[in-house]
Amino acid sequence: MIRVRGRIGDLPVELEIELGSEDWQNLRDAAAQTAPSTAPKPVVDAWDGHWEGARALLRQAGELSGPQLLDQLAALAGSPQAGKRLLVRLRHCAQVKVEPVGGAPLYRWVG
């Protein structure tokens, strides 16, 4: 038996569902038939287009200070928050070397 209790607005709700062994078996069979037989498709990263643009931007410039790069990435991605995400992603990219220079990091393309 499955019992569901709750409220809909101010009204209390209680629902009981009784299933026999045959009902449970039918549910198991139905679940097995609807289960995916192949591996799920990979999710496409919504930032891939901006990511390629960010890499190309730094590659063409050779090196940029953190604030300059952040301004350009924010313009590319459409918002300061999106620009910061791209900046963090570049910081961890194998083709980018980050060096502290003065008060701001210097992002250099080494790939």
Residue span(s) of the chain under CATH 1.10.10.10 come to: 48-109
* pLDDT at residue 3, as a whole number: 86
- Token digits for 55? 């890499």
Fold of the domain spanning 48-109: Arc Repressor Mutant, subunit A (1.10.10)
- Count of CB atoms situated within 10 Å of the CB of 54: 24
CB 79 within 8 Å of CB 92: no
* pLDDT at residue 37, as a whole number: 61
pTM: predicted TM-score of the whole model, two decimal places: 0.57
Mean pLDDT, contiguous 10-residue spans, the chain (111 residues): 86 89 88 71 61 92 94 92 92 93 92 79
3-state SS track over the chain: CEEEEEEECCEEEEEEECCCHHHHHHHHHHHHHHCCCCCCCCCCCCCHHHHHHHHHHHHHHCEEEHHHHHHHHHHHHCCHHHHHHHHHHHHCCCCEEEEEECCEEEEEECC
* pLDDT at residue 1, as a whole number: 76
Whose CA is closest to 51, among 100, 104, 106, 96? Answer: 96
Distance from chain centroid for Cα 18: 41
